[in-house]
Structure 1
């Protein structure tokens, strides 16, 4: 390796470590926020994560939801049962399913505002933070976060496959 290349690598090492540390700190604080929201909603944190996945990807089949959440399909059945009993989601016949047993899960629109409201403070804080960046900088941040999300998904899948 050339000394120029080595110097560039050294110059990037500390900032890259700071990014990783920043992501860990942000993840910890967001996890605390999520736990508080879950407690306010009187649901398990894992169920709230699944509710969010349903809201973002739904209507969605239970198998696809289990894959996105990284849980066994049998476990997902229990999660969906709890969310349905609590009035958060409904199961509907999936018109695109290969057979009549196919179902899709969707969030009840009349309940979606409850979760949205609990994250209102964080959403407002993020709006203020984003106001301090240019459109180009925000595009870079979006790209970075998308890559971080994909890397996390790949790492989780790799661990699950072992």
Structure 2
């Protein structure tokens, strides 16, 4: 049996295989997002921001810009396109001390259109997940959460 210690050759090969697989996944998801965006007429950044709004909204433009890693001026253009497309609404916050403050909300009646488009990938993921036990899925979910956190940390370091 090969060297399986954390510093050993087999472990390094396994780590490199995981990193290569993550790179392949990143590329494939980018391609999928591009195809998806083309179908619903959303640019990559627009789709990313809409997904963030759906997951974390309602949200202010500044907080969204920070989450998306985008300059506020860039965010204004994205929000303008999303609003013109009927994907979001901007609402004035009557409670805010700054009268210009707005809250961004996803337009929920457009979500069924998104779900229909994503159903192909959702079906593929359900089929894939059926091959794993609950314990394995929990391990995979933990790994993906930690990978996301590592990506967030690396993004923040690069932004500094």
TM-score normalised by length of structure 2: 0.92
Is the contact made by 2:4 and 2:11 (CA closer than 8 Å) also made in structure 1? Answer: no
2:131 counterpart residue number? 132
Residue 96 of structure 1: how far off its partner (Å): 5.4
1:117 counterpart residue number? 116
2:7 counterpart residue number? 9
- Give CA-to-partner distance per residue, 1:23-67, whole Å, 9 cap, x none: 111111111010001111112111011010000000010000000
- Give CA-to-partner distance per residue, 1:92-120, whole Å, 9 cap, x none: 12355343332111110110111121111
Aligned length: 157
1:84 counterpart residue number? 83
- The RMSD of aligned alpha carbons is 1.7
Structure with more of its chain in helix, by fraction: 1
Q: Distance in 2 between matches of 1:98 and 1:142?
A: 41
Query: Structure 2 stretches of 5 or more lacking a match?
Result: none
Q: Distance in 1 between matches of 2:101 and 2:157?
A: 29
Change (3 A) 1:95 1:126: farther
Change (3 A) 1:121 1:9: same
Worse-matched range after superposition: 12-21 or 88-97: 88-97
Query: Structure 1 stretches of 5 or more lacking a match?
Result: none
